[in-house]
Amino acid sequence: MISLLFCASVLAISIGQTEVIYPSLETLASGMKRMKFRAFDQDMELNLEPAGDVISDNFTIIYSEGKTQATDVESLKKRLFRDPEKGSALYISEKGLTEIEGVINSKLRIEPYETREVAKNEFKAHQIIRTFPEDKHFSDAMINFNMEKSYSERNDTNVNGDECVEIEYLFLAENNFAAKFLDSEKLQVYLATVFVQVQTLMDTLNLNIKLRLIGTVIYKDNPPFFQGSLIPGQDVLNAGNIMKNMSNFLCKNEENELMKQADLVMLITINQIGYSSPSGMLFPSVIGVSYLGGACDPCKKCALIKDDGRAFSTAYLIAHESAHLIGSPHDGAGPIFSFPGSPTAVECPPFTGFIMGNTFGVTASMFSKCSRENIKYFLSKNEASCITSCNSTTL
């Protein structure tokens, strides 16, 4: 039986306002880009650095039936940029008219806008979309399968707290999620910009953690582990059952090259996720599920992410569940809800608004000091042995 530990938070996002703009873009000798635009009566300037290193040179797109799709990885990497100070993650295509899409910050995003107006300065019209949090409560579920285990210090594989380490990700794109996009290229652009944003969020741990996306598996039908995962009579995935079935699926496919190589496997879906109470009451409000300290475990290195179509909130969820997988409990958690022997998170109140808290506050784009210490502790353990130092990894 799987025990789910829930953390309620406010993370629902609604579209508030849109404005059509024609941004300017300057490429500097350093390779950085300076982007300027005016929207909602504000002048904005982004100093964008190349961010393609989050994509592995050997990145692969594969369909569930085994067909591999040819991917121009070099072009994808060259078109990814970020402004870590502003929290921007953008895909910039300068083939023909310049097109930009992605995250400006936690409240603004940008995408090309179809219009009959003449382009200005080789730029298509773009739409800035401002979003606002809704007053709705959603839940994240964490599964602590470590309660009865004991752990020992690493020996020769110990990773120093200041040493650069690399975490390799594999995305599983559920069929309904994948079908939202015009083609696999549009899907990958979205996931790539999301992943750039995840790196920016993980950087706030100050642990020199580098992320690499090694591949995406695209499902044309329901993934096999969806069978038996729905709440009876409802089109809602049971949070506990789907994780159990996904874990079993990973175990059975342990020899699959991509799944074997990945340190973390993320299933991205648009399906509702929830649970039912003993009385039968339905709670379809779960937006993320993962195993605490599951990274590197062949069967438990997985997480479930509910995508709402907005890159920042999806990146936020991936960062949140990633932190669980590499040892961080929710802020405020004591020993029972923390990785065995870890510092716990009792010194960080959950209401202060960090990524692992239960409110979406001004620090929502940052991890707390407790998350940092718990993840640093996990990385010192044998159970994190798959997470290697950066200079020992082949991209």
Residue 30 dihedral angles phi and psi, to the nearest 5°:
-75, -10
Instruction: Give me the amino acid identity at 354.
Output: F
Cα angle: 39, vertex 41, 43; to 5 degrees: 65
* Rounded distance between C-alpha atoms, residue 332 and residue 346, angstroms: 4
Residue 342 dihedral angles phi and psi, to the nearest 5°:
-75, 170
Beta-carbon contacts of residue 136 (< 8 Å; ≥ 6 apart): 10, 12
Contact predicate 164/210, CB 8 Å? yes
Of 166, 321, 373, 383, which one is the catalytic site residue? 321
Name the pairing type of β-strands 108-112 and 99-103.
antiparallel
Angle, helix 184-203 to helix 311-325, in steps of 10 degrees: 60
Whether 324 has a binding-site annotation, put simply, is: yes
* Rounded distance between C-alpha atoms, residue 391 and residue 395, angstroms: 10
* Rounded distance between C-alpha atoms, residue 79 and residue 71, angstroms: 14
Nearest to 200 by CA among 73, 296, 109, 90: 90
Let me know if 26 is a catalytic residue.
Answer: no
* Rounded distance between C-alpha atoms, residue 316 and residue 366, angstroms: 10
- The gap between the terminal CA atoms of the chain, to the nearest Å, is 38
Whether 137 has a binding-site annotation, put simply, is: no
Instruction: Give me the amino acid identity at 170.
Output: L
Contact predicate 53/168, CB 8 Å? no
Instruction: Give me the amino acid identity at 228.
Output: G
Q: Is residue 127 packed enough to be buried (19+ CB in 10 Å), middle (13-18) or exposed (0-12)?
A: middle
**Among all residues, which ones are annotated catalytic?**
321
| Binding site, annotated residues for Zn(2+) | 320, 324, 330
